Amino acid sequence: MTAETHTAASAPGGALAAVGPALDRLLDAVAAPVTCRRPWLEAWLACYADFEPLVVAVGEADRLTAAAVLAARRGPWRTDVVAAGDGPSDRIVLAALDENAAEELAARIAAALARLRRPWTLSVSQLPVGDAAAASLARRLHPAELRPAVAAPVLELGEARTLDAYASRSYRQTLRTSRNRIEREGVDAAVATATAPGEVAALVRESEQVRLARDRAERRPSTLRDPRQRAFRRAVLERLAREGAVELTTLRLEGRLAAYAVVLLDGPVRRLWDTAFEPRFARFGPGHLVLERVLRDALADDACSALDFMRGLDAYKLRLATGVVESATLTAWSSSRTRALAHLAAGWRSPAYYRWLARWTAARARALTGRRRAGSRRRS
């Protein structure tokens, strides 16, 4: 068994092309999700150009037994290594055919990290719990942590292919309430599912404004504020649409996009990757109506065995889920000193730190004002 490490700083697709079809066959053999496949990873590497590909492969040129697609970014004082697809990928695997291959892959990753000429950090999130390569890598690296990550609800579909078999009575009542309110107010409503590449491309761009509005309403930072993420979202969905691997479901109220859902078609599994609704239409429950269509489309597809809601234990997901898939995050550092400095830097830059600093400054100002007023009263 031979092992290779490929990098391609100048051509994002070069490192993946070097292992090419052999990597595809390996990912097929381990039933890797779409977020670990070449189209997804190539789009990510092209859009996140600040990362350099780092592909660790185990096996022969035409038959791989294990592989990990990583990416490295050099910073002012350290190199950060992540799994390619980090951020927008809800499922990541360190692909290996068996435990021996997983052990060899972990050894090769550790060796690749040791060759880095500066302090480094490693972070691989959304791994399957019990991943053999991750466990072996955690034992080889020091310091390292393997801890729980964000779980993902899943709805397993059985022989029954009707909505009533999976939606609770209260959920069905919620849907009726939404439809009755739309009808009572005389609002024109239209639900549709787009699969054609041109339609998907147009809707991807239109849906960005809905996502941004929803994030603002929730007072959370939007991933679409990152130009890399916005470019990746467009590129990967347009590419998957050309391959017939994505559906984009929409609800329009009075002709305006009120809600959408992006579903990745991944063999027998449909994966709900992104969904949001326009806050101004919240009283109509547009998110529920779009999700109903997604579920009905899954039930109408006899080849579909599960609807994966992907990461996040949101209430609307748990109302329909039959189970939860746990995941794990592997984090490691080149030394204890690097870990301490990384934690210090993360804490210093975090929003929580600045909120604390604002409160502390305000409290000091109030205390100073109080002392001045007390001094003035004493002098008078």
Q: Which of 279, 329, 320, 330 is nearest to 298 (CA)?
A: 320
Task: Give the distance from CA 343 to its chain's centroid.
Answer: 23
Same domain? For 260 and 279 the reply is yes
Domain of 140 in residue numbering reads as 3-148+328-353
Same domain, residue pair 16 and 140: yes
Same domain, 333 and 319: no
CB atoms within 10 A of CB 346: 10
Written as tens digits, the pLDDT of the chain (380 aa) is 455 565 543 345 567 888 889 999 999 999 999 999 999 999 999 999 999 999 999 998 889 999 999 999 999 889 999 999 999 999 999 999 999 999 999 999 999 999 997 899 999 999 999 999 999 999 999 999 999 999 999 999 999 999 999 999 999 999 999 999 999 999 999 999 999 999 999 999 999 999 999 999 999 999 999 999 999 999 999 999 999 999 999 999 999 999 999 999 999 999 999 999 999 999 999 999 999 999 999 999 999 999 999 999 999 999 999 999 999 999 999 999 999 888 877 765 556 555 665 776 777 778 877 777 777 777 66
On whether both 142 and 25 belong to a single domain, the answer is yes
206 plus 237 within the same structural domain = yes
Pairwise CA distance, residues 31 & 228, whole Å: 28
User: How many domains is the chain built from?
Assistant: 2
Whether residues 346 and 302 share a domain: the answer is: no
Q: Are strands 323-325 and 120-128 parallel, antiparallel or unpaired?
A: unpaired
Q: Residue 361 domain-assigned?
A: no
Do 69 and 177 have their domain in common? no
Residues 163 and 283 in one domain: yes
- Regarding whether 79 and 180 lie in a shared domain, the answer is no
Look at residue 368 and tell me if it is in a domain. no
> Is residue 294 located within the same domain as residue 217?
yes
- Note whether residue 216 is domain-resident: yes
* Same-domain check for residues 53 and 36: yes
Structure tokens at 292: 């109903």
**CATH code of 262's domain:** 3.40.630.30
Task: Please check whether residue 358 lies inside any domain of the structure.
Answer: no
Q: Given 3-state DSSP classes, what are the helix, strand and coil percentages for the chain, each rounded to the nearest 5?
A: 50, 25, 25
Q: Are residues 176 and 263 in the same domain?
A: yes
- State the pTM of this model: 0.87
